[in-house]
Amino acid sequence: MCALLMALLLTSGCSILDSLSPVHEEALPSEEDAAQIEYNVGTTQSTSYSATLYYIYQGDNDMLLPEKRTLSFDQDRRIETVLIEELIKGPAPEQTNLLAVIDPNTKVISVTGDTGASDTLYITLSAEFLNEPPVYKEKYTDDPAELNRYRRQAVNAIVNTITELGQFSRVDIQIQDGKNTRRLINSEAGRTTNPANTLEPVTRQYDVIITPRMVVQKVFTLMRDRAWRAPLGNYLSFEGSQDNGLATSEERAYAELAAQDVQIEDFTIGDVTQSTDGKSAVVTVRQLQLRDKLGKVKYSKENVPIKLTLENGIWKIPYTRFSNILTLQ
């Protein structure tokens, strides 16, 4: 019997000993590792972008001003979608010179397109885009001309904000109207020519952006047309302007300009240079033709430098320099 027991122990000893050996469990993560794992679960990596958004300049509804804004968003989202959503939100509260022009209830339905042959970005917005902009409803009750102006600027703001990226040359805006998606028509975009026609893809609108060149163009055109007051005064700087020790006020400047015997007959704008700090610029007027009120005397000036300074984000011409130009000497 003893011999039999010994044989059994010898043949099964390995399995018995193995069963009595300590269990080797898989190592658990440390508290630090566990925290890192929990942090990464469900987290989408984000990215940031320094964007330029365009809004209406409240001193001149025909012009747009840029706002620089740093955006942070999930990297799997299209930057164009984020830009339009930010544009709809309106300018930052501290940007008192800027006005939102799109109904804040507008939603971005889709954004598609590539930078290939079409070079067009297709944007679909909700039907709220067709609502009267809040800034219009605050100022007007029934003014079709002003409503068209704001509708044009809503389209211009989107197009200029998107084309600022340098990826697309054209923007096609569509509307989700119920279950149907359709392109804007000209009247909905503030266009009065062929109002019932479909709005074609829109390219960048340079002539509505406040730049040194456009300010000189605007001021000289207003002077040629003898259109005093706003928006002329918004582009003239009265800082340091004095006469006999008295500061030149805006009202006094209007009176002086209206009393001028000299009128601008025609002008041609040339080169533009800007300082390295971006706070001043010089626009060269290649040819400036002046005449008196009766049109009897004509005088031509060539290569007239017009210096502008940046004040609160607006390019302005010093009033003293501007008034001195309007002479027949």
Q: Decide if 87 contacts 76 (C-beta within 8 A).
A: no
Of 56, 329, 102, the residue nearest 209 (C-alpha): 56
Please state, as a whole number, how many other Cβ atoms lie within 10 Å of the Cβ of residue 54: 28
* Mean pLDDT (10-residue bins), the chain, 329 residues: 46 45 42 38 74 94 94 92 96 93 95 84 96 84 90 97 95 93 96 96 96 94 80 83 54 77 89 95 94 78 93 90 73
Domains of the chain with bracketed CATH: 46-208 (no CATH), 212-325 (3.10.450.50)
Residues 80, 165: Cα–Cα separation, whole Å: 9
Q: What radius of gyration, in Å, describes the C-alpha atoms of the chain?
A: 33
231 preceded by a cis bond (ω within 30 of 0): yes
Residue written as token pair 């509804």 = 61
Residues 40, 46: Cα–Cα separation, whole Å: 13
pLDDT value for 18: 46
- The tokens for 301 are 């000036």
Specify the pTM.
0.80
Q: Decide if 305 contacts 280 (C-beta within 8 A).
A: no
User: For the chain, what's the residue count?
Assistant: 329
Phi/psi of residue 196, nearest 5 degrees: -85, -5
Question: Which residues, listed in sequence order, are joined to residue 207 by a DSSP beta bridge?
Answer: none
Residue 216 is given by DSSP the state H
- The tokens for 161 are 């904000």
Q: Decide if 172 contacts 203 (C-beta within 8 A).
A: no
pLDDT value for 102: 95
Buried residues in 238-264 as b, exposed as e (16+ CB within 10 A)? beebeeeeeebebeebbeebeebebbb
